[in-house]
Amino acid sequence: MNHNTMRILILILHVFLFINISFGQFTKTPSEYVDVFMGTSNSRWMLGPYATVPFGMIQLGPDNQGNQWMGGYEYAINSVSGFSHIHAWTMAGLRMMPTTADLVIEDRPVDAPYKGANAGYHSRILKESEKGSPGYYSVYLYDHDVKAEITATTRCGFQKYTFPEKKESRILIDLLIPSEYGMKINDARITKVSNTEIEGYADCVSSWWNNYKLHFVLQFSKPFKIMNGWNEGKEQDDITEITGKNDIGAYVIYETEKDEEILVRSGISMVNIDQARLNLETEITIPFGWDFNAVVNNAQEAWNKILKRINVAGGTEEDKIKFYTNLYRAYAAKQTWNDVNGKYMDPCENEQESAKGVAMYGGDAFWNSFWNLNGLWSLVTPDITKNWVNTQLELYEKTGWTGKGPTGLEYSGIMEGSHEMALMLSAYQKGIYTEDPGKLYEAMKKNVTVSGINHECGGHAGNPGLDNYIKYGYMPMDKGVTNKTLDYAFDDWCVAQMAKAAGYRKDYKYFIKRSENYKNSFHPEYRFIVPKDSKGKWKENFSAFDNYSFIEGNSWQYSLYVPHDIPGVIDLIGKDLFNQRLEEGFKKSKEHKYAAHALDRTGGRKSEYYINHGNQVNMQAAWLFNYSGKPWLTQKYTRDIMETYYGSTPYHGWEGDEDEGQMGAWFVMSSMGLFEMNGGGDADPVLDISSPLFDKIVIKLDENYYPGNEFVIETLNNSKKNIYIQSATLNDRALRSCRIKYKDLVKGGKLVLIMGDRPNINWGKH
């Protein structure tokens, strides 16, 4: 072989290796881009590296904090207290922990020195041993010399503990555990069915309204020698059952060899123990047996099924990590609350059964989810949107009202307005739910015609103080918070649109007129939303940055908060002043990463907090320029928020409260350059357009709901500097508007955007 031939062969080999390496980058699955630890420092109870599947009842994973706001898991703490099954808003329960050190039956603060019984049963961890991915978590418990691995299905958990050689190794079951909202146990029972199975329940109370009865079945891969228990500090040895209230738990004992694996399968239900066992048999025992890895693979497949519905190309690796992690978060913090056969407990603690194929969902409030979660769910997973509608109609039919935050399917009354109606309306307008528009309208209308109540089954239903809003045409500050005027006006608009769609013309005219009530709180001179009392007297010593009579915001922010009539707001303020205010707000908020961390509810109310992307009230702000004649500033600031507000580390995921995926969903939609200002409630819904983060985005459309196969968004000459849209085509036809119709998107096709480093002030103003 001559020298030239050798050079050619080497060149071919290099090209082959380059192609394979490059190709390998594209074989990475979406779930491999997800970082489950992102943003888990200073995060909420619902946000941790838990093993879960989309909308899982189970979010099984580590806790390391006490009873406190934002309790649960904190990345910066190198300790684990145990692994609990439920991390839903205002709900917790069923912690387990493998231990081998001196016996401890209490959970002390994790910062207590580790001195036997003084420290509690928690363990320090080796941080480098902590691993996580969608549907899987593992960690090495240093003080117990145990490796813990965890996975889950929708209603079941699966744990694998690798023990050292010990005469006494234990697995603890603790029913009273610290959580974000705190909890107490009125009554509980733990029963040994056999040396490989335990069953039980805990009658729990969390918050002032949320009562639920958690039933569970635990199955062990190896027979345990003995079961002991405790109740309120008193131990009971060699028992078959323990009952009591408050602090109650049990533990089983093994003699283990080095690297011996013991597996635990767990099924839960809010209905009864038989249902918990049925869930376990259906989701793990029958299909997987004791094959832990098969359950891990099943969870990852469930995640990839959703994550693969959006494929992105271009951008940086960090961009892709942020994209798929935020997409993951939009499905990781809400729960399914009915069992495999449809049975569930309604808010009155009556056993019900949903229709076949219907999943009953719950979680924190729908407060302003029309700007993030609703749009993403309807576009990517319309089946989930339809289940939400069916959940609301089930609640209305069985217990009289829809639920604005139906965690555990209970009435919470959390946050402002009845914004579940925005999702219900949008689902109808988009053709996702079409079965019974009359019933849909009936359920929605009640929320804007009957004043909210303290529900006889617990919690609050409907819109409180609605009678005052109707009487005065606004919410007087001596009767309720001023922002209720804005929330209730948007509710009126949603009901008006549904009335029109269902053929109730007279109702439509009434509610569409009432949706203009927000104007009654606009001060004619200040041109801000200003609190006023029931006698019509405006608040004295007004400041736009005063948060008096506003929930989690101030007048400056709430004056932009009219999702259904931004043109009307611009007219009231004046376009020039509107733009001047908004531009000033963004310029002054950039140094704070567009997050008003120090929003003060007790004092310092005159601090200048402008843009606060870290809370629901202000998440539309960057998109308002699309309505005020400066769409290039929407392009600028949506991209800047994605670059600065959003991070990719445990310490910087989101600068504010990532409320069950709301911030994640905003990032996903905005990174595709899409947004719904009024939540998709128009008869012919529209999407706003901005600057996509990626060179190419392919949305796989659900053929069961939409006529198209896929919709492609392609950006040419896109970069970190080239963020401004120069021109656009939709299916090869020039697009001069900064909006597209939803129906055009779901038909399938291609949106092409030509990008540049300077604004084209003539594009998108039409």
Q: What is the pLDDT of residues 690-737, one digit of tens each?
A: 999 999 999 999 999 999 999 999 999 999 999 999 999 999 999 999
- Per-residue pLDDT, 329: 96
SS3 call for 723: coil
Q: Give the separation between CA 628 and CA 680, rounded to whole angstroms.
A: 20
- Per-residue pLDDT, 263: 98
- Per-residue pLDDT, 109: 63
Give the pLDDT mean for 330-351: 97
The continuous run of DSSP H or E covering 586 comes out as helix 575-589
Phi, psi of 285 (to 5 degrees): -60, -50
- Asked whether 269 and 94 are in contact (CB, 8 A), the reply is no
Label residue 69 by pLDDT band (50, 70, 90): confident
Half-sphere exposure of 359 (CA within 13 A, CB side): 18
Rounded mean pLDDT of the chain?
Answer: 93
Question: Could you tell me whether strands 343-345 and 197-206 are parallel, antiparallel, or unpaired per DSSP bridges?
Answer: unpaired
Which is more confidently placed, 251 or 25?
251
- Token readout for 410 is 């209970």
- Asked whether 168 and 195 are in contact (CB, 8 A), the reply is no
- Per-residue pLDDT, 390: 98
Where is average pLDDT lowest: 110-114, 436-440, 616-620, 683-687?
Answer: 110-114
Q: What is the pLDDT of residues 184-226, one digit of tens each?
A: 999 999 999 999 999 999 999 988 778 999 999 999 999 999 9
Give the pLDDT mean for 490-510: 98
- Asked whether 345 and 668 are in contact (CB, 8 A), the reply is no
Whether the per-residue pLDDT at 71 is higher than 50: the answer is yes
Give the pLDDT mean for 295-316: 97
Q: pLDDT exceeding 70 applies to what percent of the chain? A: 94
Label residue 22 by pLDDT band (50, 70, 90): very low
Q: What is the pLDDT of residues 143-163, one digit of tens each?
A: 999 999 999 999 999 999 999
Where is average pLDDT lowest: 87-96, 163-172, 602-611?
Answer: 602-611
Give the pLDDT mean for 262-282: 98
Label residue 608 by pLDDT band (50, 70, 90): confident
Give the pLDDT mean for 293-305: 98
Whether the per-residue pLDDT at 6 is higher than 70: the answer is no
Whether the per-residue pLDDT at 607 is higher than 80: the answer is no
Label residue 511 by pLDDT band (50, 70, 90): very high
- Asked whether 595 and 613 are in contact (CB, 8 A), the reply is yes
- Strands (E) in 647-735, as ranges, are 674-675, 686-689, 696-700, 710-716, 724-730, 733-734
3-state secondary structure 298-334: HHHHHHHHHHCCEEEECCCHHHHHHHHHHHHHHHHCC
Give the pLDDT mean for 342-367: 95
The candidate with the shortest Cα–Cα distance to 242, out of 234, 183, 120, 276, is: 234
Give the pLDDT mean for 620-648: 97
Label residue 28 by pLDDT band (50, 70, 90): confident
Whether the per-residue pLDDT at 274 is higher than 50: the answer is yes
From the number of C-beta atoms within 10 Å of its C-beta (0-12, 13-18, 19+), residue 21 rates as: exposed
The per-residue b/e assignment along 72-90, b for 16 or more CB within 10 angstroms, e otherwise, is bbbbebebbbbbbbbbbbb
- Per-residue pLDDT, 7: 45
Q: What is the pLDDT of residues 422-450, one digit of tens each?
A: 999 999 999 999 999 999 999 999 999 99
- Asked whether 148 and 159 are in contact (CB, 8 A), the reply is yes
- Per-residue pLDDT, 385: 98
Q: Give the separation between CA 301 and CA 288, rounded to whole angstroms.
A: 14
Q: pLDDT exceeding 90 applies to what percent of the chain? A: 85
Whether the per-residue pLDDT at 12 is higher than 50: the answer is no
Other Cβ atoms closer than 10 A to 598: 9
Which is more confidently placed, 598 or 393?
393
- Per-residue pLDDT, 112: 54
Q: Provide DSSP, 372-397.
A: THHHHHHHH-HHHHHHHHHHHHHHHH
- Per-residue pLDDT, 11: 42
Whether the per-residue pLDDT at 19 is higher than 90: the answer is no
Label residue 597 by pLDDT band (50, 70, 90): low
- Per-residue pLDDT, 755: 98
